[in-house]
Structure 1
Amino acid sequence: MRADRLVSLVLLLRQRGRMTADALAAELEVSTRTVLRDIEALSAAGVPVYAERGRHGGFALLPGFRTELTGLNHDETLALLTTGSGRLFGLGPAFASALRKVVDALPEGHRATANDAAQRFLVEPAADLLSRRAPGEEVPDATMIEVRRAVLSGRKLRIHYAATDRPAAWRTVDPIGLVTVRERVYLLATRGGEDRTYRLSRMLAAEELPEAAERPDSVDLDRAWNERRARFLADGHLTVLVRVNPARRDDLLNTAVAVRTEEPGADGWPLLEVTYQDSWHAEWALWQLGTQAEALAPDSLRAALHDRAAAIAARYAPP
């Protein structure tokens, strides 16, 4: 385990440059003291790692240092063999090619056990036990290639985009990064200096432009996504408190825009605070669940569901 950690430490310094002991400890999930001992061990083994003092100091490798660190342990190999997210970014063929190279480089015995283990894991099949299809969206290869190129090259991107309830229009954006959520791919970008988020399945066409994009040199995509998600949920959406039969929980989640909170209920039915696009969307979604869910708030939604149920009951009352 220590050998794997030492390799990871060297790779972190190679890929990220100077890092503090605290940052390395957090990344490797060990104590700062352990990191300092590992640094000493690397230095004693001839790895040119050095310390920089001061407020912005840390540990770094000498410029130009390279070493072959290609050894993969069993779990790392299995992780590569059982992941498939590369296809979401249009990298399916490249991902498959990379896996072939990884497998070919393994020792014969290790190769056989890794392949056997990979056959015993299935990640995100196309449908669940009820034959419901996964919510993934198709993105044309040509569109994905242009978007990916612009994101990686740091150039402006021209997209033909069909927003909800609006005619498709061309717009030029500054791409920042790509994010996948439940098999959907989003482009985080700016337009005229304002944050924008675009779903790739709604792009009818895309074209990488020669002009450099106006964007920072580095970005924290996780933080950027959470900030945009919070703004999206606060912008005219309806928040509903619902109790639901555990057997229909997934059906509830499939109709909601987002889940804010979830906690167990006293009667075994979980209590969820979910967000819908508007009151009509919430009424439609909860009506599909019948008596298997109950909206506890807001009162306006309860009244709307009551009125709809009363109208249906009156229509189908015996003569």
Structure 2
Amino acid sequence: MRASRLLSLLLLLQNRGRMSATQLAAELDVSARTVYRDVEALASAGIPIYAEPGPSGGYQLMDGYRTRLTGLTAAEAGSLFLTGLPQPAAELGLGAHLAAAELKLTAAFPTPYREASTRIRQRFHLDTPGWYREPDAVPHLLALADALWQDQAVEVRYRRWSPRPGEVVRRLHPLGLILKAGVWYLIAGGYDQPRTYRVAGIIDLRPLPEHFTRPHGFDLAAFWQAHVQRYEQADTGQVMTVRLTPDGVTALRDVLGPRAARLALRALAPAGPDGWHQAAIPLENVTQAAAMLLRLGADVQVLAPAELVAHLTATIRAMSRLYPA
């Protein structure tokens, strides 16, 4: 562990130039006292590192010095597909590996490429979750990822909303994890064909002693693309039937997003005598749909399915008790 930290400290100074003990401590997630000891260890090992005193001072390497100790570990190499996604990397337990891998790659670049990568990092940032949303609580994501790496079967207790709401127990063969708009999904076999599960819906997870062989030719990206197309076209799965005021119709794009709003508006019924429109909207799960529809307030009325109507009714009644007339 300390050897890895010493190398990270050395690469930080090589890639970024002069850094204070406080800055190094923040990057390495250690105390400043630990940084002092690590710097002494590097100097004792013959690394030309020295301290520059003063308010703008810090530690730096002698001009022209470069280390070639930049080999990636297996975990660091495996984390590279999450470059630019620090939050998902941290959720998968790969945050430290990703940071170390990026340092080693940057150190291995020729100076012009290293400067270009720094410019890109300063100018572009990818933020996956949608607006006004907190990431799902995914306490079983790490265990699920571990089983996925090892092709190990798991038993899960899962909260589903369709076709019948309730909790079910499933023995699954994890085939892939998908991060979509800040939400984690599991693609798993174990039945006639792979299915999709929302990771936040997993209540309990137990790794099983058995291992499985991945289906020959299974393409995770192609499977997910087909799933997304089916969902967005509402050819399969559940839909919710709603009535909307003209203001509710106008707000659909902000609430659903452009593509889902286009699907809903495509099947929008003409306004009735009261000015309201009826629409069918794809339904992923009851909790998510209820939270979304509550943003429309009194500009929407849900007609079906019954479990969504019941969920909204209970939520609105609970809210009304908080605001008595």
TM-score, normalised to structure 2, is: 0.48
TM-score of the pair, normalised by structure 1: 0.48
